[in-house]
Chains A and B, each alone.
Chain A
Amino acid sequence: MKNNENGMPMKNPLSLQIDLAKFAPATEEEKRQQDVMSESSSFFRDGMKKLVKNPLAVASMIMLAIVLLVIIFAPMIVPYGYDQIISVEGKRDKGAKNLEPFAWSEMEQAYIDKGGKLFPHIFGTDAMSRDYFIRCVYGARVSLFIGLFASLIVLVIGVIWGSISGYVGGKTDLIMMRIVDIIYALPDMLIIILLSVVLDSILSSNNTGIVARLGSNMISIFIVFGLLYWVGMARLIRGQILAIKSNDYILAARSIGARPGRIIRKHILPNCISVIIIATALQVPSAIFTESFLSFVGLGVQAPMPSLGSLANAAREGLQSYPYKLVFPAVIICLIVLSLNLLGDGLRDAFDPKLRK
């Protein structure tokens, strides 16, 4: 030990530098301070920390918050209705058709010149002299509502079906999963079209409330989601439960004497809740997309209620002259779907136990 690592000769004898008192035994207290346990954290807190660190997820959360704020508060601020033809001083303004964003019609211009105050048409107006901004806001409301509600239906049916099938197993599982397979094989668009035809005649007699406002097409979309789209969720949950069931802690709970209800409630569901949340978050944009597609082909909400898909469809006619009318709803759909997808991915990265590092 004449040289140190770098081959430098050392001149200072240890005895001159190190205080011999340091060779006294360390106390228990001192030793315990060396043994530090990492800070306590729950699974949820860990996941949230990770989510907040993901810039894409944060950006999409901000985006969604902005969209939500706009669709909640814009109708309170903007003095136009989505089905209301623009009128100036109680008179219908026939000249307010197809205005460009922030443009005024002649009547409006005259009114403003007189000193009156009007709210600008942020996105312009449509071919029936309605304010396009408020129509887009309502369209986004409808799309989001349908997306969330449809996902909720899928969630409830899928979780119940999947948990029973996965937990009970055996023959029950076999039969339930074959039913899922059959439903998978059904052509969904065809069923939506058929259902909307059938439901139209049934629902048209009942012309009140939300049914009338949304129209039979929308109701049939919900029914189709309820009937068909839960199968993916059910499969996912079943797979998850089968994986969790093979863990020793389920065996441990059984050997303690816990009953099946308790095992599902306390041990299985809490361990697949993250997967359920992620799957639901990713289900919402897919439902929005389906709705927009159906509205675009004319099977969506009943006029005059707008949805982003039907707005885009209506904009097709004047595409040459007014391209922005297609751009607005299309961009809104993209923003909503993209931020929901990115948020779903972010949730998965943050909460999926399989992806933890």
Chain B
Amino acid sequence: MNETILQVKNLHTSFFTDSGQVMAVNGISFNLEKGKTLGIVGESGSGKSVTAYSIMRILADTGRITGGEILFRGEDITKYTERQMQKFRGKRCSIVFQDPMTSLNPVFTVGNQLMEAIMLHTDKRRGEARERAVEMLELVGVNEPRKRLKQYPHELSGGMRQRVMIAMALACEPDILIADEPTTALDVTIQAQILELIQSLQKKLGMAMILVTHDMGVIAELCDELIVMYGGRVCERGTVDEIFYNPRHEYTKGLLRSIPNINNMKERLVPISGTPINLLNLPKGCAFCARCDNAMKICLERLPDEISINENHKASCWLNIKDMLAAGKEVEERAER
């Protein structure tokens, strides 16, 4: 029933820049099941986009996967050749980027780009590809699709462009869709349209989706499961309800507290203190410890293990371990890494 389609195991990705090694992703693991939506949430520099780009292997020149495996139906794609990757991208796994302005080529028409994407991965001819392109544009709710095919990206509005991008990503019916902040660059009313579109398309096509975003509101709408990232590591994972209503990592708690919300309009916000972590200089303990109000001495020294809170929820926070110890439970320790 629940077929695992993508498995990420202990992924490490770094960027080798002039100022040193930026450790963007430091050992994250997750499974993606068919037809499910996995949200990855975190602030800038948490490694959420880099994780997505690592799966597509579209990192910038300085970036490199330094460890771990990415298994697509059991095959490790980190070992794929560039040629195999080209087949993988688009056909097996597609990505929708944040900025629809820059992800479409301004010198080609929309139709040209859509048809090229279709013809690259199927043996359809031009005419068939055009029909398929029209079909796709209809599917993503673009009005007058035949007319749109002849238009250039700059003639379309931001929302329209994002629809075209989604159409392009879905044209070859990929098994996995990665959406990297798909609505961040859009206005709220357009964002609502696109979110609804993504939701209905996923139901219709039954693909698995990874949604990368910083917006807890978007997560609440679209996701089944959720990973909270900080400093390139997973803080907490679980079903959306578990994470929102029973957060067990100090960062998740702080994140949820700091969002202004309709019900606490006149109350003072509770921010997370401090500044984002410096990825050039990761502490040896928990990445969040410098900003954590309840940090303990052990947090500074050692990484916490991931502990199961219940079958739908895991968290990596020493406070949970402390609670378990206090409750007299036996906690077994992992070997020193």
Direct contact of A and B (CB under 8 A): yes
A residues within 8 Å of B by Cβ?
Answer: 1-2, 4-5, 8, 10, 12-15, 17-18, 20-26, 30-38, 46, 50, 356-357
Asked, given contacts A12-B333, A14-B325, A30-B300, whether A23 binds B318 with beta carbons under 8 Å apart, the answer is yes
How many chain B residues touch the partner (CB < 8 A)? 37
- Shortest A45–chain B CB gap in Å is 12
In the complex, chain B residues whose CB is within 8 Å of the CB of A13 = 330-333
Q: Is the Cβ of B281 less than 8 Å from the Cβ of A31? A: no
The 3 closest A-B pairs by CB, nearest first: A22-B298, A34-B290, A35-B290
**CB <8 Å contact, B299 and A26:** yes
CB distance from A355 to the nearest CB of B (A): 10
Give the residue of A2, A30, A35, A357 whose beta carbon is less than 8 angstroms from that of B332. A2
A10 near B331: Cβ-Cβ < 8 Å: no
Q: Does B81 contact A (CB under 8 A)?
A: no
Query: Does chain A have a CB within 8 A of B103?
Result: no
Distance in Å from the Cβ of B297 to the closest Cβ of chain A? 5
Nearest CB of B to A328, in Å: 40
Q: In the complex, A178→B292 CA distance in Å?
A: 61
- Chain B residues with CB under 8 Å of A12's CB are 332-333
Across the interface, which residues of B come within 8 angstroms of A31, CB to CB?
289-290, 292, 295, 300
Residue of B nearest to A37 (CB): B278
Bound CA–CA A34/B277 (angstroms): 9
Given contacts A1-B307, A8-B335, A24-B297, A14 and B321 within 8 Å (CB-CB): yes
Can you name the residue of chain A whose Cβ is closest to the Cβ of B284?
Answer: A34
Contacts of B66 in A (CB 8 A): none
With the chains together, A76 CA to B300 CA distance in Å? Answer: 66
Q: Are B334 and A4 closer than 8 Å at their CB atoms?
A: yes
Interface residues in B276-301 (C-beta closer than 8 Å to A): 278, 280-281, 283, 285, 289-292, 294-301
Residue in B275, B296, B299, B321 whose CB lies within 8 Å of A35: B275
Chain B residues with Cβ below 8 Å from A357 are 17-18, 62
Establish whether residues B325 and A26, one from each chain, have CB atoms under 8 Å apart when the complex forms.
no
Whether B122 sits at the interface, judged by CB under 8 Å, is no
List B119-134 residues whose CB lies under 8 Å from chain A.
none
Residue among B275, B294, B305, B321 making CB contact with A25, cutoff 8 Å:
B294
In the assembly, what is the distance between CA of A18 and CA of B325, in Å? 11
Are A32 and B290 touching (Cβ within 8 A)? yes
Nearest residue in A to B298 (C-beta to C-beta)?
Answer: A22
7 contacts between A and B (CB under 8 A): A1-B332, A2-B332, A8-B335, A10-B334, A15-B330, A17-B333, A38-B19
Given contacts A5-B10, A15-B331, 10 further A-B contacts (CB under 8 A): A1-B331, A8-B335, A13-B330, A14-B321, A15-B325, A22-B296, A26-B289, A26-B299, A34-B289, A35-B278
Smallest beta-carbon distance B157→chain A, Å: 23
What residues of chain A lie closer than 8 Å to B335, measured between beta carbons? 4, 8, 10
Determine the chain A residues whose CB is within 8 A of the CB of B321 once the complex forms. 14
| Contact across chains for A25 and B295 when beta carbons are under 8 A apart | yes
Docked Cα-Cα span, A23 to B330, in Å, equals 16
By a beta-carbon cutoff of 8 Å, the part of chain B in contact with chain A is 10, 17-19, 62, 274-275, 278, 280-281, 283, 285, 289-292, 294-301, 305, 307-308, 318, 321-322, 325, 330-335
CA distance A34 to B300 in the complex (A): 7
Known: A23-B296, A24-B296, A31-B290. A356 touches B331 (CB 8 A): no
Asked whether B325 lies within 8 Å of A20 as measured between CB atoms, the reply is: yes
Give the residue name and chain of the B residue nearest to A6 (CB): B335
Q: Are A26 and B274 in contact (CB under 8 A)?
A: no
Contact, CB under 8 Å: B333 / A5:
no
Residue of A nearest to B19 (CB): A38
Q: Is the CB of B333 within 8 A of A50?
A: no
Enumerate chain A residues within 8 angstroms of B275, measured Cβ to Cβ: 35
Residue of B nearest to A30 (CB): B300
Hey, which chain A residues are within 8 Å of B332, CB to CB? 1-2, 10, 12-14
- Is the Cβ of A14 less than 8 Å from the Cβ of B300? no
Contact: B278 with A36, CB < 8 Å?
yes
Chain A nearest CB from B28 CB (Å) reads 13
Q: State how many angstroms separate the Cβ of A2 from the closest Cβ of chain B.
A: 7
Given known contacts A4-B335, A17-B333, A357-B18, A38 and B281 CB-to-CB distance under 8 angstroms: yes
In-complex Cβ contact of B300 among A2, A10, A26, A37 (8 A): A26
Residues of chain B within 8 A (CB-CB) of A22 are 296-298, 301
User: Most B CB atoms within 10 A — which of A10, A46, A357?
Assistant: A357
In the docked arrangement, what's the CA distance between A12 and B281, Å?
Answer: 32
Is the pair A25, B325 in contact by a Cβ cutoff of 8 Å? no
Specify which chain B residues have a CB less than 8 angstroms from the CB of A2 in the assembled complex: 332
In the bound complex, residues from chain B placing their C-beta under 8 Å from that of A18 are 298, 333
A23 and B322: CB pair below 8 A?
Answer: yes
Most buried by B among A8, A18, A23, A46: A23
In angstroms, Cα B10 to Cα A356, docked, is: 30
Contacts of A1 in B (CB 8 A): 305, 307-308, 331-332
CA distance A263 to B320 in the complex (A): 55
Given known contacts A1-B308, A12-B333, A357-B18, A36 and B295 CB-to-CB distance under 8 angstroms: no
